[in-house]
A and B are shown apart, each in its own frame.
Chain A
Amino acid sequence: MYADSHLVVTRTQEPVGLCFAGEIDSSNARAVAEFLSNGFAGVEDIHLDMSGLSFCDVSGIRSLIEAAESRQQGRLMLHGLPYLLQRVMAATGWANLPHLVVVS
């Protein structure tokens, strides 16, 4: 589990992945990426439950992309992505990435 003053990330087993609650900005984006990069050896796709993410800035999305691209295999699957974040990803040119998939 990862926790700071405005974000809690917990591991999930079915499906294998992480559940986010709170806010990601430039103060914790790097920590999120590091947490994401550890502990998923041998796992193909990692499923991220984003429905409890009330805020995520550009650096947060960038960290997710970098974490996804640095893996040897598999993708990051984003579930329950809030509409605003979908809009931000579309506006920044990050809507259709091979390793970071928005699951509708």
Chain B
Amino acid sequence: MTNLHEADRFRHEALLYANADQFVAGTVPFIRDGIRAGEPVLVVESVAKIEILREALGGDGEAVMFADMAGVGANPARIIPAWQDFVSRHEGATRLRGIGEPIWKERTPDELIECQRHESLLNVAFGRGRPWWLLCPYDTEKLDAAVIDEARRSHEFVTEGSHAEPSDLFRGLEASGAPFDAPLPQRGTALGRTTFGPNDLASVRSLVAHHADAAGLGAMRAAELVVAINEVATNSIKHGGGRGTLTVWQETSALICEISDRGRFAKALADRERPSESVAAPRGLWLANQLCDLVQIRTIPDGTVVRLHMRRSATQGLN
């Protein structure tokens, strides 16, 4: 399926499948080739797909690591660190293989956008690093055509049937890490909007705690949201012009807190690279991604917008 030149660097490939048979036909030989070559193989899929693969692989399944995408990728910004852990855990391996399916039909519109951002950022995270091969299955029966089109832009290679080829639409490494400036979707009437300055962190916290309580988040998740919003607001004070604006929306499925300020994010992976060991290294956005269900960061003409989402019930659909 590939030549040596392509195998000597990161290969990000979309696998388009329309049914379970095509899924198995596209993934099982890929896994078996990896096992035969002595490559570590990690599959991050739904529980249902992991079952299908285990059955199809038989004894070969023993050599494969599996992880539940519903856990690892509930917030898609946590997926790149999981792959980075996989790659760095196998320092001695010349090559590695992974399968990751972050996008399924039940993803909310906000999650879908962030998953698509994640797929692009994979190129930034690994494009200049060690050689490994990541295959990302896309269900063409269940997903919109626009989602498949975006997969052709975020993946350098696309496999359809048994045919793999370079994607004509691939946006390339540079554009994959470009500032994400597509505006976030408009939301309904906000519960509240308030500006804050250097002396207002405690009021930002108590305001968000109040809304989290009213939305029924539960004590622990409310406290986690307060920790996250405090870090984002602290960034506004320290790096975003000394002040910011907090807006809160309560929707049927989630509580959403947004902070906008005049700061700029310099690094595409700023919110999802595991903090370095240095005590001084920034940790606020990383922490927000560990605590919140979704974090959306956008660069707008005069600053930055960060939206934190907390689902109002801890359930989530996964196909």
Contact = CB atoms under 8 A, between A and B. Distances in A.
Interface of A: 5-6, 23, 25-27, 55, 57-59, 62, 65-66, 69, 83-84, 87-88, 91-93
B230 A25 contact: yes
A84 B287 CA distance: 12
Contacts of A25: 201-202, 230, 234
Given A88-B291, A91-B287, A92-B275, 19 more contacts: A5-B202, A23-B202, A25-B202, A25-B234, A27-B198, A27-B199, A27-B201, A55-B205, A55-B230, A57-B230, A57-B234, A58-B287, A66-B279, A83-B220, A87-B224, A88-B287, A91-B291, A92-B287, A93-B274
A16 B25 CA distance: 66
A64 to B, nearest CB: 10
Interface of B: 198-199, 201-202, 205, 220, 223-224, 226-227, 230-231, 234, 237-238, 274-275, 277, 279-280, 283-284, 286-287, 290-291
Chain B binding site: helix, strand, loop or mixed by DSSP? helix
Given A57-B227, A69-B279, A26 B238 contact: yes
A69 B286 CA distance: 23
B283 A58 contact: yes
Contacts of B234: 25-26, 57-59
A92 B227 contact: no
A58 B231 CA distance: 7
A78 B179 CA distance: 41
Contact of B290 (A5, A23, A91): A91
B142 to A, nearest CB: 33
A93 B230 contact: no
10 contacts: A5-B202, A25-B202, A25-B230, A26-B238, A57-B234, A58-B234, A62-B280, A84-B224, A91-B290, A92-B286
Contacts of B291: 88, 91
Contacts of A84: 220, 223-224, 227
Given A6-B202, A26-B237, A88-B287, A57 B231 contact: yes
Q: Which among B198, B202, B280, B286 has the greatest number of chain A C-beta atoms within 10 A?
A: B202
B283 A92 contact: yes
A27 B195 CA distance: 18
> B224, B280, B283 — which one has the most chain A CB atoms within 10 A of its CB?
B283
Nearest to A5: B202
A93 B226 CA distance: 20
Contacts of B274: 93
A25 B198 CA distance: 11
**Smallest CB-CB A-B distances: 5 pairs:** A91-B290, A92-B283, A58-B283, A26-B234, A84-B223
Contact of A62 (B224, B230, B277, B279): B279
A23 B198 CA distance: 16
Nearest to A65: B279
B277 A93 contact: yes
A72 B167 CA distance: 59
A17 to B, nearest CB: 21
Nearest to B200: A27
A93 to B, nearest CB: 6
A89 to B, nearest CB: 10
B91 to A, nearest CB: 19
A30 to B, nearest CB: 13
Contacts of A92: 275, 283, 286-287
B223 to A, nearest CB: 5
Nearest to A22: B202
A69 B278 CA distance: 12
Contacts of B286: 91-92
